[in-house]
Amino acid sequence: MTMSAENSIDNMPPVIPHWIGGEPVDSADGRTFPVADPVSNTPYSRAARGGAADVERAVAAARSAFPAWSSLGSRERADVLVRIADAVEARHERLASFESYDTGLPITQARGQARRAAENFRYFADVIVALGEEAFRQGDEQFSYVVREPVGVAGLITPWNTPFMLESWKLAPALASGCTLVLKPAEWTPLSASLWPEIFAEAGVPAGVVNIVHGIGEEAGQALVDHPDVPLISFTGSTDTGRHIIRAGAQHLKTTSMELGGKSPAVVFADADLEAALDSVVFGVFSLNGERCTAGSRVLVQRPVYEEFTRRLAERADAVRVGPPSDPATEVGALVHPEHYARVLNYVEIGRKEARLVAGGTRPTYLADGNYLQPTVFVDVERDARIFQEEIFGPVVAVAPFDDESEAVELANATQFGLAAYIWTSDLKRGHRIAHAVESGMVWINSHNVRDLRTPFGGVKASGVGREGGAHSIDFYTESKIVHVALGDVHTPRFGVAR
């Protein structure tokens, strides 16, 4: 069986249209672009190529739907979100197969993303019903209370890695908050987004509440950022693109949430449970094909256990099963796109000149075609090396030694990024000290990336602006209005009155 046949699926849409005002529509100018799978790198479909006219139509539909959707009670919106979750779960296998085919993710990991997407809607249905608002009393004179009002039309721009689940991270809180929206999925991986229209229709989402415009970031994404009637942009992607969006959005003073790049450290002390730390490091950097923002792609190991840890890490990397995404035994599949694959391979060549390669670095010999790379480990990496400083976003890890706690913190903070950090030590006092000293938005002590949906998600420095997750997401998609009410007689100084 050929690799392309192994990765084939049924019910492939020949064209992926926009979804505007509750209807599938072509681009205003009729343009499309090809979409290829990462195993054969040949087009399997075409997607509508949106531009400013399509974004204009989508924003108009969202504005028209906003008064009715925003006026619904929180319980009514929550009921819709629960029905969306039910519809997602009913398409569990189809969704996972679409996601795996389009992104190159191993099918077992794609199934996990489908489950998490459904849970995002259930969670925010609970949040919006349970969320209270603040009230303040100033003695017997005045009472003040806060009213949350949805911002309006939200612009959501999502990345190509785990696209369906990351779309749900933004869709669920935006809808729960009472916003209507325009979603611009990533152009490399639009297949799973083609399921949203039937999911929303089945769940009873009113026409125009959710609109989807496919297209190239510089065209459709730019038009969404530039639109004066889209007051809010939530973006997940590269740091350079995030900077551009913030600059462009400044003209209309848009509220932005930017979840950007990462080069997260995993700090392993000599007293750590090395087996548990090794499991976490291997999973954290090689799962999802290494294409994850929170990957622990810089591993800092205390010198007494450095040689042992790096040897065992290399052995584990060599044993990781690389194969077709559709094979349940596969642990690392195909990288998403030839352009990204070439970028990752270029970093591997850079790493060969900067450090010592102890595992991977090449295509597995049994995979002649497709964007495959054996998990790659570089050791003895200097802090100024590009593979230590720059986000690679693939199954590549840089390992460096440290001597003491202060050096560990210094190395952990020695990049422009600050998204996540992982600390491994049996000394919990030290674990807390390191957690507080590391410059990152999220820290895990003796744990891999276990996400609690109630917690704030986001980074510092070049890893982003703002926080989403739990009530923080509701804060982002709403404006807080304070209403002051007099409880008794008001004694205002009387200006302009004859004395």
> Between β-strands 142-150 and 135-138, what pairing exists: parallel, antiparallel or unpaired?
antiparallel
The answer to whether 330 touches 323, Cβ cutoff 8 Å, is yes
The answer to whether 426 touches 400, Cβ cutoff 8 Å, is no
Of 424, 372, 429, nearest to 402 (Cα)? 424
Of 265, 279, 367, 377, nearest to 322 (Cα)? 367
Which listed residue (219, 259, 331, 468) is catalytic? Answer: 259
Structure tokens at 239: 């740091």
Q: Using alpha carbons only, how large is the chain's radius of gyration in Å? A: 24
293 counts as catalytic? yes
The answer to whether 167 touches 465, Cβ cutoff 8 Å, is no
Which listed residue (167, 293, 331, 354) is catalytic? Answer: 293
Q: What span, in angstroms and rounded, lies between the C-alpha atoms of 212 and 194?
A: 9
Query: Which strands sit side by side in the sheet containing 153-157, from one edge to the other?
Result: 23-25, 18-20, 210-212, 180-184, 153-157, 232-236, 255-259, 464-465
Residue type, 241: T
Provide the sign of the torsion angle of the four alpha carbons 146, 152, 155, 156, taken in this order.
positive
407 counts as catalytic? no
The answer to whether 180 touches 69, Cβ cutoff 8 Å, is yes
Residue type, 283: F
The CB density around residue 274, as the number of other CB atoms within 10 Å, is 17
The CB density around residue 394, as the number of other CB atoms within 10 Å, is 27
- The residues annotated as belonging to the active site are 259, 293
